[in-house]
Amino acid sequence: MALCLIALYVSPLFLLGENAHIRVHDNLDSNIAWYKVLSESGKITGPLDAKIPQIANGKLSRNALGSELTGIVWLHALFPTMTAYALSQTITRVVAFLGMYLLLKTHFLPEPRWMAVRIGVALAFALTLFWPSGMLSTLGMPLALWAFLSIRKGEGEWKHYVALTLLPFYSSFVLGFFFFLAAMGTLWLLDVLRGKGWNIRFLTSIAYMTLLYLLVEYRLVYSFLWEDEPTSRDEYFHARLSFWHCVRLTWKNFILGHHHVMTEHTFFILPAWLMALYLVFMKKRWKQERLFLFLFGLNFALSAWYAFWFYKGWLPLTERFHFLDTFNFARFHFLRPLVIYVQFALALKIVWQYSEKGEKWAKRLLAAQVILVFLINEEIVFRYEPTVKQFYAEKQFQEIKQYIGLPVSDYRVVSIGIHPAIAQYNGFYTLDTYNNFYPLSYKYEFRKIIERELEKSKTIRTYFDEWGGRCYIFTAELGKRYMFTKQSKKRLKNLQLNTEQLKKMGGRYIFSAVPIDNAAENGLVLDRVFTSDESAWTIYLYKVN
């Protein structure tokens, strides 16, 4: 039944295809377009010094678009975009379900009486609205923990090593498993300090999986250790928040979660924890339920770590040790989905055991959580966003390409009011991009185009100068908004671009989702307006005079 529900959950992706609604942020606006650009560039297996000519004027390193040893790259190379996306979602959710089920059955709730809890919690975990391009970076952690805990007990079998071997090929080291393996290393060290021996097999399994990740992510390792050219990551300044802001952020993260690891635990899981906590203390069962109490504390500690990573008190350290800025250690909170759902399972067991009507309440809370996450489906949550077909608007951009009539490699474009990923997906060569790993010198060069707009607005100036992952044509009038559909009435009245710099970098056309009233003052000529029933945008094609 659980597997049927997972099949039903992902079915809109297979049935609707390009007419499906899926996440835009850090998905349609970036990764999905990158996979297509990479597969069409002929550089999937390119050398370490290869560049992607279509993005950032050919300055983007091939190494910035992920390793060819990662499965999702080949899914998008072998299948159409939405087929690859649907397959990836299915793989991830099935593995997440099986991993959590095996973990609970083997190590936390082995008794047959807890079968419903094991299956229900595993199903709820598998249906969470995770970040798609993360693959199994968070949802694969239960499977890995199942394997590691079995090996730690001396019960390791071939299937545990197979799990540890396959996971690195469909997950990310820096977006999940670095932090998980650090936690496993800490667990091994604690065992040693508590006199449980060196457990060489457990240590070796941790080292084995770490080595596999370093091999799979060899491009990232090379770039981190041997490339000397400064990148946009070198100007990422995270330590900005006051102490009390961090306190508020701690509670916000603990109660609501984070958009990259959406656990949806606020409405039913959190009450289950509190009920269990109350029963543990009322029944004086804190010794028997110390694992639940430990996970409760760990859960809160991870939220506090996430929030206080942005505390401005870190500044002296980040100024001295630059890697603290370039690597996001706040992502230890990516362990929270694993912790939250294991803690949920233990909470349900406690409510079931220690309360008079506990069995009913446990079943109700579990059913409610499954229903909640089932309804938080991309097709429902993002129903007011453009569909994939409307977002990428291939027919409309093909018309633009034919109208311009030049080989796309002969000119460069930038976008205003829409994500540059749309132009990239449709084969155009762009100066603008969304990427966290491009040359810092290019950021400075691009900044000259928008420097007068940045002077007008502290918000976009800070956003660009102290991060710069979105190397966009920012304007003070539009701010940090990048999606103006054809229903928008917005107009740009006081645009001030350095068109000479744009032209110097090869920029010939601007794809704008809004009309520019003072185009002539910027050396721009409105060439033509493109509309399409299949597109979410009205594209005003401006030519650099």
Q: Where exactly are the structural domains of the chain?
A: 230-355, 393-544
Average pLDDT over residues 385-394: 97
| pLDDT over 90 at 368, yes or no | yes
Confidence of residue 319 (pLDDT cuts 50, 70, 90): low
pLDDT at 432: 97
pLDDT at 232: 83
Given this model, what pLDDT does residue 163 score?
A: 98
Confidence of residue 321 (pLDDT cuts 50, 70, 90): low
| Residue 186 banded pLDDT, cuts 50, 70, 90 | very high
Residues 406, 409, 412, 415, Cα dihedral to 10°: 90
Residue 323 has pLDDT above 80, yes or no: no
What is the mean pLDDT of the segment spanning 432-438? 92
Give Cα separations from 198 to 71, 185, 195 (angstroms). Answer: 35, 12, 8
Instruction: Place 318 in a pLDDT band, splitting at 50, 70 and 90.
Output: low
Element (H, E) at 322: none
* pLDDT in the model for residue 260: 77
Please tell me the distance from the alpha carbon of residue 81 to that of residue 75, in angstroms, as a whole number: 9
Residues in the chain: 545
Token pair listed for 198: 């060196």
pTM over 0.85, yes/no? yes
**So what's the pLDDT on residue 93?**
97
- 488-501: average pLDDT: 96
pLDDT at 238 over 80: no
H or E stretch covering 371? helix 358-375
List, in sequence order, every residue forming a beta bridge with 261; answer none if it has no partner. Answer: 130, 258
pLDDT of residue 365: 97
Is the Cβ–Cβ distance between 24 and 382 less than 8 Å? yes
Distance CA 299, CA 197 (A): 28
- Interval 246-273 mean pLDDT: 91
First to last CA, the chain: 63
Rounded to the nearest integer, the mean pLDDT of the chain is: 94
For residue 327, what pLDDT is reported? 67
DSSP calls for 162-216: HHHHHGGGGS-IIIIIHHHHHHHHHHHHHHHHTTS---HHHHHHHHHHHHHHHHH
Sort strands 433-434 and 412-416 into parallel, antiparallel or unpaired: unpaired
pLDDT recorded at residue 212:
98
Asked whether the predicted pLDDT for residue 74 surpasses 70, the reply is yes
pLDDT single digits (tens) 8-27? 999 999 999 999 999 999 99
For 453-463, how does the pLDDT look when each residue is reduced to its tens digit (9 = 90+)?
Answer: 999 999 999 99
What's the mean pLDDT in 521-527?
A: 96
